[in-house]
Amino acid sequence: MQVECVCVIPARGGSKRIPRKNLKNFLGKPILAYSIETAKASGIFSKIYVSSEDSEILEFTKNQEALPFRRSHDLSGDFVGTREVIVECIQRLNLQEEWVCCLYATAPLLSPKNLQKAFLSRDDSCYLLSAVEYDYSPFRAFSIERGKNKMLFSKHFAKRSQDLEKIYHDAGQFYFARAKTWCHRKNIFEDSKSFLLPRSEVQDIDTLEDWEEAERKYQILRQRAEQKAVAN
């Protein structure tokens, strides 16, 4: 029996640090298009919704043959959490036993293959989220107090970098869970499972510098894929 999974892409129009971020041109097309295309190519979703309060984004969604979902005005502010947006969709669409994937609109580096693999590794009892290893150990972190450095984890000073415990963080690309899990478990990160992604396929996009780095990474990944295709 096929497991039904619904994709919801949150894409509000009021981004501040990068104005109109979700429709900004990313190497030839709006960045939102990449997430819609990835969701389609993965082949795991029965329906793909884009949640937004913005009429231009909703119209673009229809042109991409995805389903526009007009978000409530109360959930369109700067301090609204991802989970609140997903729960609104679940409740208004009357989802019950379905799996629901929150796929971010700014995830152009994510491949359909990794989205498929993540879905296959899901756990019925908890959230599954994309994660990535820190590129430099937080155990080497320090604050600066009165002009001098203060180690936050001084007990690890004598350890070699390779002996420090590996630590991971949210890759900010997708979250899978049952509809009932979204509705009843507020903490997405605690006691959840991770699907690890390589650092080359992860880029947080909050500034124009981040944006440019994401474009560089995308071009490198595309070049590698083309070289692999020629070699095969």
pLDDT of residue 1: 46
pLDDT of residue 2: 67
Single-letter residue type at 97: E
Q: Which H or E run contains 101?
A: strand 99-103
- Express each pLDDT in 18-33 by its tens digit: 999 999 999 999 999 9
Residue 28 near residue 99 (C-beta atoms within 8 A): no
pLDDT of residue 53: 96
pLDDT, averaged in runs of 10, over the chain (232 residues):
88 91 97 98 97 97 97 90 97 96 98 97 96 94 96 93 94 98 96 97 96 98 92 82
Can you tell me the distance from the alpha carbon of 92 to that of 208, in angstroms, rounded to the nearest whole number?
Answer: 35
Q: DSSP letters along 211-231, please?
A: HHHHHHHHHHHHHHHHHHHHH
pLDDT of residue 77: 87
Can you tell me the distance from the alpha carbon of 151 to that of 131, in angstroms, rounded to the nearest whole number?
Answer: 26
Q: What is the pTM of this model?
A: 0.94
Instruction: Count CB neighbours of 216 within 10 A.
Output: 11
